């Protein structure tokens, strides 16, 4: 299997930060070292994630002024796509440089870009969002932070709201792999233990990647009391 230099570099950068007890600081450093060159950012395709676009096209979840929250928004393409569907979108990233990059890419955007941390989400997001999108963020967090992030993620969904999670997946007998670490389905089941209900779950080969990647795509809702 060919080695992706960008991914190798990101893994090395993440490992160096983890070794000194900093699990998330490598994101800002990666954006800083990219110096405005998106080809140096492994997850920057400069287009909406096709696994999200396909799901939204197949489901009757439309904006109509509803609120949407995009977790770990990167360079903003998914957030901008949701805005075209009529959502009132807030998108956040832990990296101030990523947020600045989004604002420069989309100077006339209707999306509200904010610096934020999924582990300690802003109070005004608590149970406030009609649609929450989490794609590929949980998989770059180490296990101890991932558990906290899953609980915090659930708390952003309002009663009657929807959460869509897209991530790398693995079976219990599979190796843990390298960052981005694939999730077990049991880890996503924690979303149900903290108050959400599973509406639909898919396991599929993502052939938009080369080589294809095994992914999970889960839809969760918060019951209306």
pLDDT digits (tens, 9 = 90+) for 73-128: 999 999 999 999 999 999 999 999 999 999 999 999 999 999 999 999 999 999 99
The pLDDT value recorded for residue 1 is 42
Q: What percent of the chain has pLDDT over 90?
A: 92
Higher pLDDT, 225 or 208: 208
Nearest to 221 by CA among 197, 203, 187, 201: 197
- On the CB side of 148, how many CA atoms lie within 13 Å of its CA? 10
Q: How far apart are CA 128 and CA 67, in angstroms?
A: 8
Q: How confident is the model at residue 54 (pLDDT cuts 50, 70, 90)?
A: very high
State if pTM tops 0.85.
Answer: yes
CB proximity list for 105: less than 8 A, separation 6 or greater: 75, 76
Task: Please state, in angstroms and rounded to a whole number, the distance separating the CA atoms of residues 73 and 102.
Answer: 9
pLDDT one-digit tens code per residue, 143-185: 989 999 999 999 999 999 999 999 999 999 999 999 999 999 9
The domains of the chain, with CATH numbers, are 45-221 (3.40.50.150)
Please give the Cα distance from 74 to 27 (Å, whole number).
10
Q: What is the pLDDT of residues 58-73, one digit of tens each?
A: 997 878 989 999 999 9
**Is residue 2 over pLDDT 60?**
no
Quick one: pLDDT at residue 65? 87
């Amino acid at each position: 299997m060919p080695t992706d230099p960008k991914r190798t570099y990101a893994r090395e950068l993440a490992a160096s930060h983890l070794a000194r007890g900093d699990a998330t600081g490598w994101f800002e450093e990666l954006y800083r070292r990219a110096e405005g060159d998106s080809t140096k950012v492994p997850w920057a395709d400069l287009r909406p994630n096709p696994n999200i676009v396909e799901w939204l096209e197949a489901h009757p979840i439309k904006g109509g002024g509803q609120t949407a929250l995009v977790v770990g928004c990167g360079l903003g393409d998914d957030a901008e796509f949701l805005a075209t569907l009529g959502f009132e979108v807030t998108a956040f990233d832990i990296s101030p440089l990523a947020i600045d990059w989004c604002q420069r890419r989309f100077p006339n955007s209707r999306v509200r870009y904010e610096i934020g941390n999924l582990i300690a989400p802003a109070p005004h997001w608590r149970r406030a969002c009609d649609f929450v999108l989490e794609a590929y963020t949980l998989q770059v967090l180490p296990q101890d932070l991932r558990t906290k992030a899953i609980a915090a993620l659930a708390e952003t969904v309002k009663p009657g709201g929807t959460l869509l999670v897209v991530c790398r997946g693995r079976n219990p007998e599979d190796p843990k792999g390298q960052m981005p670490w694939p999730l077990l389905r049991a880890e996503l089941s924690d979303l149900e233990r903290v108050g959400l209900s599973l509406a639909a779950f898919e396991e599929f080969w993502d052939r938009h990647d080369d080589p294809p990647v095994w992914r999970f795509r889960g839809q969760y809702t918060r019951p209306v009391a």
